[in-house]
Amino acid sequence: AQSVSQHNHHVILSEAASLELGCNYSYGGTVNLFWYVQYPGQHLQLLLKYFSGDPLVKGIKGFEAEFIKSKFSFNLRKPSVQWSDTAEYFCAVTPAGFQKLVFGTGTRLLVSP
């Protein structure tokens, strides 16, 4: 069965600091990879996704993620965080050909102004 691990459950940063959230998945076949974000009081929304091609993908609000196949990783990065990035971030995978999302446990990011 597929599984997703997010190593940091809580992260606290000051504004302008750089962000990297770790995500590793366990699955033997081809996967599609996602990062979702949930801002306080809002729905889960898609931040970025990777299906194939360039392993460095760019998403909304200056976020990017790099797929490293050999490490089964899909880490999320942002060079300079803002207070408005305070949210919970979820890494997720789907086996290729399916829409069933397998989520990690999430990382709560708090950015202090």
Count of all residues that appear for the chain in the document: 113
Q: Is 39 in the site for other proteins (CB under 8 A)?
A: no
Q: Is 97 in the site for other proteins (CB under 8 A)?
A: yes
- Binding test (CB under 8 A) with other proteins, winner from 22, 44, 62, 86: 44
Q: Is 23 in the site for other proteins (CB under 8 A)?
A: no
Number of residues that bind other proteins (CB under 8 A): 24
Residue in 11, 32, 2, 5 with CA at minimum distance from that of residue 77: 11
Distance between CA atoms of residues 6 and 84, nearest Å: 21
Q: Nearest approach, Cβ of 95 to other proteins (angstroms)? A: 9
Q: Is 102 in the site for other proteins (CB under 8 A)?
A: yes
**Is 78 within 8 Å of 23 (Cβ atoms)?**
no
DSSP-based three-state secondary structure for 74: strand
Q: Provide the binding-site residues for other proteins, judged by CB under 8 A.
A: 4, 6, 32, 36, 43-46, 49, 51, 90, 92, 94, 96-106
